[in-house]
Structure 1
Amino acid sequence: MLTNLKRLSVLELILALRAISIVTQLGLVLFVNLALGYELPWVPLFTIITIEVVFNGLCFWFYKLRATKGAKHIVIQLLADVVFLGCLLYFSGGATNAFVSLLLIPIAIAAVSLSYLRMLLVAVAAVGTYSLLLWAMPMHVMHGNMEGHFIGMWINFLFSALVVSVVVGQLAQMITQREATIARYREEQLKQERIMALGVASAQVTHDLATPLATINLLVEELQESDEHQPEVIEDLVKQVARCSENLHAFRQTTEQIKTNQKQRVSSEKLFKQIKHHCQLNYPQCKFQFLSECAETVIEADGALIPAIVNIIDNAVEANKHTDKNQINVSTSIVDETWRLAIKDFGKGFLAEQTSQLGAYPQASEQGLGISVLLSNASLERINGKLELANHSDGAQVNISIPIVEGAV
């Protein structure tokens, strides 16, 4: 039963507790009248309980049908509980009833599940109900020291409501913040584990490629010594093998920098020239427009920065393949003490769920938002950078922001 209660929402829990309280109210009324011999007004009490049963049944049917679980509906339910309890207490002794302290329960539930203003509304309603019950008491009851006693009970209830509102509300907020922090930590840990797995796989592939690449290099050297082949073809093979060897060497250096957390200061102008050189060398079929709108600055990064930017450019080039306007704009600027690199393509743009999933483990998509963006985002986060995905009127735009090193020349 406790397990089932834990699975309920706040609204469903209120409805369940009200159903339990209705059964308890019926039992208490019958026990007080029949067993203890007190003359309670049967008609008003059973009328209120009947209305409560009908109200609870309608609410249960309505909320199940509409699946409405907003905060305003919780407020309505708690205010209804205050009204029902106040009416029952009015016809069963008023402020002298020992169960008047049950008015603290709606306040406690509101403190746990509602915002401060909504919780204050429920607390004011409960305190106001108690005050009306005290004010409506007959004069013959308020005689001698009893008047001071009942006023003291009212002050005690007021103080208890204040304590419940503040203490329980703060504890609930602390628990919520702690759960949110734990959830973010678990999500970050899961992301890091997946990135680590990708890194291990990449390192293994690089290690496996080293041996066949060395073999290919030896074969090329043998072909160079032979006169039976065209020298132009052999020269092209030599260039491609040398390029593969340089890439593997650069990958090993980048991996070593990441493992040892080595960062170095990089000129933004030099970085922009490297990006420009990469684009012109690897994508000669694509039209690039480069624009630097800022003076030379210095940022701090490691060897993974260039691959992270290259991944974004690769995605932009891929997105442009399905359009007639084969152009990519790459520009730099200074925004709020950060160096910003904007990469704009003219493809289909990003979907809303793609921009919201940035940093999470991605799903495959036609626009190229996949593992490369995940790794780029992780690389930028490691150097306090930021990756933003957005759409413009004719396509998509990716903004990469990196803090500028203060005091650097």
Structure 2
Amino acid sequence: MLYNPAKLSLINTVILLRSCSIIIQIVLVAFVHLFLEYDLPWLPIFFIIALEALFNIGCYLYCKVNIDKQKLNLFIQLLADICFLGCLLYFSGGATNSFVSLLLIPIAIAAVTLPTLQLTLITTYALLTYSLLLWLMPMHVMHGNMQGHFIGMWINFIFSAAVVSLVISRMAKAIISNEITIAKYREKQLKQEKIIALGLASAQVTHDLATPLATIRLLTDELMEETHNPSILAELNVQVERCSNNLHSFREMSLEIKNNVKQLINIDSLFEQIKNHSNLNYPNVDVEYDLPDTTSKGLFLTSDSSLLPAILNVLNNAIKASAKKQLQKVSFASKVMNEQLHLSIRDFGKGFSAEHFNQIGHNPIHSEQGLGMAMFLSNASFERLGGRLTLSNHPQGGALVMISLPLQPPAQICSKAVK
């Protein structure tokens, strides 16, 4: 079976590297025994290598079944690698062995992959292993200038371990942080591109509807002069006028958003507009309002014209979701906490599925709950205004949408009022 390192997980990569290390150890031991004819305790060395091979096989089988807690598994494996390497070094010269610097490899792997605490433990264990090997060296080896040489190697190892654990770990964290930042920037850029595309499409639709509405208004005016029952045409004319006003409001809102025009919005005025919208468009729906009395507090939001439509989109989706279960009922509540306005909108429909939780806010989707273009744009509007939209399912059934918006500090409200 051929392995592609690029497709292996972190644990499997370490297991593969350990397998290569075991093969190299066997080759080196055979080379030393056959060609260099060193007098080494071969039985303990081969026993340690065999034990390391069994441990590697056990790790492979265990990690194949248990894929959770990879950090802890990697930490245990690196500790075992230091232990095996220390035992092999002990039976092959101890601190005099030129391969003693291999103790830096587990430290380097831990610096890139493990948290700070586990990295510290790995580094400390490697330093204690090297120190123990130096301490257990026979006295006849530590004679003359060799004692200073071995102590110098030990100090050099301590310095190298400190550099690897500190510098490499910081570089790895910096690289990961940069990758996360770039990923978030790319995601934000893709979302902005989708929003721009939707905005262009809506602007084109608005432009295309303006001319037919104007023609319909002229026709209704002419028909009202000729018909004997003008009441129906009068109602039709009212609806045409309403469509024209909505298109005009949409043009003004688009222009304000384009020019980044923001203003202070009193939250009581905002709640009043939401009530008027629900009473006008859904007179048969029982919207339960739980709104605190904030008239005396004078709380304001800094927003543009997109805030109210974004909230109304969420409310409309909740009403439609409840209507699918033949329930004309929606709950709308708010509270002020930590200088933020928290809105909660609950419907009594089927609730959200796992697919909705994965896709909402990132891609427009079509579903029975109405999580399409409107909800996608609402989420983008809240994020642009410094807010946040959170989805969950209510324990008693139905979907629960939480909206958090930052309130304007009183000092800034006074300064803007002075200006």
Question: TM-score range, shorter-chain basis?
Answer: over 0.9
Match of 1:345 in 2: 347
Match of 1:198 in 2: 198
Match of 1:137 in 2: 137
1:239 deviates by 0.3
Match of 1:249 in 2: 248
Residue type of the alignment partner of 1:320: S
Matches within 5 A, 1:322-337: 322-323=324-325, 325-337=327-339
Match of 2:407 in 1: 404
TM score, norm. by length of structure 1: 0.93
1:385 deviates by 2.2
Match of 1:32 in 2: 32
Indicate if the aligned counterparts of 2:359 and 2:365 stay in contact, CA closer than 8 A.
no
Match of 2:303 in 1: 301
Match of 1:383 in 2: 385
1:179 deviates by 1.1
- Structure 2: distance between partners of 1:70 and 1:362: 34
Indicate if the aligned counterparts of 1:290 and 1:331 stay in contact, CA closer than 8 A.
yes
Could you list the runs of 5+ residues in structure 1 that have no partner in the other structure?
none
Question: Per the alignment, in what secondary structure is the counterpart of residue 302 of structure 2?
Answer: strand
Residue type of the alignment partner of 1:282: N
Indicate if the aligned counterparts of 1:63 and 1:69 stay in contact, CA closer than 8 A.
no
Q: How far does the alpha carbon of each residue in 1:173-217 deviate from its partner, in whole angstroms, 9 at most, with x for none?
A: 111111111111111111211222222221122122122212211
Match of 2:318 in 1: 316
Match of 2:153 in 1: 153
Does 334-343 or 183-192 show the bigger shift? 334-343
- Structure 1: distance between partners of 2:49 and 2:333: 71
Match of 2:169 in 1: 169
Does 329-338 or 193-202 show the bigger shift? 329-338
Does 271-280 or 61-70 show the bigger shift? 61-70
- Structure 1: distance between partners of 2:367 and 2:236: 35
Residue type of the alignment partner of 1:398: V
- Structure 2: distance between partners of 1:116 and 1:204: 55
Matches within 5 A, 1:236-275: 236-275=235-274
Match of 1:372 in 2: 374
Indicate if the aligned counterparts of 2:345 and 2:401 stay in contact, CA closer than 8 A.
yes
Residue type of the alignment partner of 1:343: I
Q: How far does the alpha carbon of each residue in 1:234-262 deviate from its partner, in whole angstroms, 9 at most, with x for none?
A: 10110010011011111111111111111
Indicate if the aligned counterparts of 1:325 and 1:346 stay in contact, CA closer than 8 A.
yes
Does 208-217 or 356-365 show the bigger shift? 356-365
Match of 1:77 in 2: 77
Residue type of the alignment partner of 1:222: E
Indicate if the aligned counterparts of 2:360 and 2:371 stay in contact, CA closer than 8 A.
no
Q: How far does the alpha carbon of each residue in 1:207-230 deviate from its partner, in whole angstroms, 9 at most, with x for none?
A: 221222122112112112213x52
Question: Per the alignment, in what secondary structure is the counterpart of residue 309 of structure 2?
Answer: helix
Tell me the matched-pair count: 407
1:169 deviates by 1.0
Q: How far does the alpha carbon of each residue in 1:49-71 deviate from its partner, in whole angstroms, 9 at most, with x for none?
A: 22222322232233234445611
- Structure 1: distance between partners of 2:43 and 2:182: 53
Change (3 A) 1:324 1:216: closer
Indicate if the aligned counterparts of 1:112 and 1:168 stay in contact, CA closer than 8 A.
yes
Question: Per the alignment, in what secondary structure is the counterpart of residue 4 of structure 2?
Answer: helix
Matches within 5 A, 1:282-297: 282-293=281-292, 294-295=294-295, 296-297=298-299
- Structure 1: distance between partners of 2:136 and 2:197: 71
- Structure 2: distance between partners of 1:34 and 1:333: 81
Q: How far does the alpha carbon of each residue in 1:241-299 deviate from its partner, in whole angstroms, 9 at most, with x for none?
A: 00110111111111111111111222222222111111100001101233431233222
Could you list the runs of 5+ residues in structure 2 that have no partner in the other structure?
415-419
Percent identical residues = 53
Does 50-59 or 169-178 show the bigger shift? 50-59
Indicate if the aligned counterparts of 1:11 and 1:69 stay in contact, CA closer than 8 A.
no
Match of 1:19 in 2: 19
Indicate if the aligned counterparts of 1:286 and 1:317 stay in contact, CA closer than 8 A.
yes
Matches within 5 A, 1:60-99: 60-67=60-67, 70-99=70-99
Match of 2:184 in 1: 184
Residue type of the alignment partner of 2:384: R
Q: Is 2:221 the counterpart of 1:218? A: no
- Structure 2: distance between partners of 1:230 and 1:324: 36
The Cα RMSD (Å) is 2.2
Match of 1:57 in 2: 57
- Structure 1: distance between partners of 2:366 and 2:196: 19
Match of 2:417 in 1: none
- Structure 1: distance between partners of 2:372 and 2:97: 65
Residue type of the alignment partner of 2:146: M
- Structure 2: distance between partners of 1:222 and 1:345: 45
- Structure 2: distance between partners of 1:195 and 1:345: 27
- Structure 1: distance between partners of 2:32 and 2:82: 22
- Structure 2: distance between partners of 1:288 and 1:362: 27
Change (3 A) 1:235 1:3: farther
- Structure 2: distance between partners of 1:47 and 1:59: 18
Question: Per the alignment, in what secondary structure is the counterpart of residue 241 of structure 1?
Answer: helix
- Structure 2: distance between partners of 1:24 and 1:43: 17
1:72 deviates by 1.1
Change (3 A) 1:185 1:131: same
Change (3 A) 1:204 1:165: same
Does 129-138 or 91-100 show the bigger shift? 129-138
Question: Per the alignment, in what secondary structure is the counterpart of residue 344 of structure 2?
Answer: strand
Match of 1:45 in 2: 45
Change (3 A) 1:65 1:400: closer
